[in-house]
Amino acid sequence: MTDRRYLSLSPSDAAVRLDLIHSVHGLEHAENYFNSISIRLKTSNVYGALLGCYVREKSLEKAEAIMQEMRKMGIATTSFAYNVLINLYAQIGQHDKIDLLIEEMKTKGIPQDIYSIRNLCAAYVAKADISGMEKILKRIEEDSELKADWTIYSIAANGYLTAGLETEALSMLKKTEEKVRPNTNKFAFKFLLSLYERTGHKNEVYRVWNTFKPLTKETCVPYALMITSLAKLDDIEGAERIFQEWESKCTVYDFRVLNRLLVAYCRKGLLDKAESVVNQAVVERTPFRSTWSILATGYAEYGHMSKAVEMLKKAILVGRQNWKPKQGDILEACLDYLEKQGDAETMDEIVRLCKSSGTVMKEMYYRLLRTSIAGGKPVISILEQMKMDGFAADEEVDKILGSKTNL
C-alpha cells in the first residue's frame, strides 16, 4: 500500500503497520519506522500503537516517556492511552501509579470505560484491597453506561477467594456465568473451572463442565483443564474418566491432555499407572518430549532414580534441537545420581544424546571426567571430545585431573 502512490496512507494504516512490524521484526524496527514517517501521520493512533509496543515489551521508561510526549502534544485525550499504560502498571505490580492515572483522567474529564475499571479492579485485587474492589463493583452496578462483562466479575471472584471470602466469591462466580456469551465461553470456561476448583466445590466444577462443554467445539483444552481441576480436588477417578472420554472421541491425539493426567498420577505417586498409560498411547504415536520428562520427574521425586534416568533418555531422544528439560532440575538430578553411582557409561550416553540435540554443556563433561576418574577409567577420549565440541581445557579441568595419570 505504501509503495502505491495512488493510495494515501492514513494514520490508522500507519498504526497497523507499526504494530505488525513490532510483531514480526521487534521493537527496534518498529521505532525506526515510527521515526521515518511524516509528521502528518503521527497522530494519537500511531503514538498509541508505539505505546502498545512498549507495554508488550514491559519497557516502563519508554512507555512513560511516550505517554508524556502525548500529553505535551495534547493527543492523550481518550481513555485508550491511559488504559494501555494502566495495563503495564498492573503487569509489573506498580499499582499506586494506576490510582494516579485514574485521578488524572478524572481531572482532565477523560471518561473511564470498562477497560479502565477492569484494570483498576485487578489492581485492587493484587493489593488485597477488598474494600477498594467492592467500590468498583458498586460503581459498575450503579452506572448503566459501564457495561460490565464476565471478566470483571471473575477478577472479583479471584479477589474474594484470595481473601478467603468463599460466599462472596461464589456470588461473583454466579454473576460471571450470567455474563458469559456463547462466543466467549471458550475463555470463560477456563476461568470458571479454575475458580470453582479453588472453592473446593467439586459438584460446581462438574456443573460448569456439563453446562459449557456442549457449547465449545474444542476438545483438547477443555478436557485438559477439567483433568487438572479434578486432580487438584483429589478426584483421580474423575480425572481418569474425563481422559478416557476425550481419548475415545479425539480426532487428533494431543499429548498435552495426557500430560495433565500424568502430572496428577505423579503427584499421587501412582507411577505404574502413569507409565502404563504412556506405553498404551505410544504404541502408534510419538509422544511429546515433555511426556517422558514428566515421568522422569515423577520417578525422581519418589527416589526411583534408575527409572528417572531411563525416562530422561527417552525425553532427550524425542526432543528437538536445543531442547532441555523444564520440569525442575531433572537433568541435574539424574547426572548427580549417575556421578554418585560411578556410572560413567550411562553418563557418557546422556552426554552424547545431549550433544546430538545441541544441548551439551561444559559442566556435563566436568561430571563425566570426575566419574570416569573415580572409576579408574581413561579420560583421554573425553578430553578430545571436549575439544571437538569447542570446550577448551580450563582451570576446572586441571583441578579435576590433578595428578592423575590414567589419561
Residue 324 confidence (pLDDT) above 70: no
Confidence class of residue 328 from pLDDT cuts 50, 70 and 90? low
Residue 356 lies in a domain: yes
pLDDT score of 147? 80
The runs of H, that is alpha helices, within 217-288 are 220-232, 236-249, 255-267, 271-281
Mean pLDDT along residues 255-266: 96
Residue 273 lies in a domain: no
Confidence class of residue 326 from pLDDT cuts 50, 70 and 90? low
pLDDT tens-digit map of 276-316: 999 999 988 988 899 999 999 999 999 999 999 999 999 98
pLDDT score of 407? 55
Residue 394 lies in a domain: yes
Residue 123 lies in a domain: no
Closest to 362 (Cα-Cα) out of 402, 314, 317, 395: 395
Query: Which cell numbers hold the place of 262?
Result: 500424568
Q: How far apart are CA 258 and CA 278, in angstroms?
A: 8
Please say whether the beta carbons of 176 and 150 come within 8 A.
yes
Please say whether the beta carbons of 112 and 102 come within 8 A.
yes
Q: How far apart are CA 162 and CA 256, in angstroms?
A: 28
Confidence class of residue 323 from pLDDT cuts 50, 70 and 90? low
The pTM of this model reads 0.78
Poorest-pLDDT segment among 108-112, 214-218, 375-379, 392-396:
214-218
Would you tell me how many other CB atoms lie within 10 Å of the CB of residue 14? 22
Higher pLDDT, 239 or 359: 239
Domain count within the chain: 1
Please say whether the beta carbons of 146 and 120 come within 8 A.
no
pLDDT tens-digit map of 189-227: 889 999 999 999 999 999 999 988 887 777 788 999 999
Residue 325 confidence (pLDDT) above 80: no
* Domain that includes residue 319, residue range: 315-407
**DSSP code for 43:** S
Residue 374 lies in a domain: yes
67 contacts: CB under 8 Å, gap ≥ 6:
51, 76, 81, 85
Residue that the C-alpha cell 459501564 belongs to: 146
- The residue type found at 347 is M
Residue 46 lies in a domain: no
pLDDT tens-digit map of 24-33: 999 999 999 9
Query: Which cell numbers hold the place of 35?
Result: 521515526
Residue 59 lies in a domain: no
Q: Tell me the percentage of the chain whose pLDDT exceeds 90.
A: 61
Residue 8 confidence (pLDDT) above 90: no
Confidence class of residue 406 from pLDDT cuts 50, 70 and 90? low
Residue 399 lies in a domain: yes
Please say whether the beta carbons of 357 and 347 come within 8 A.
no
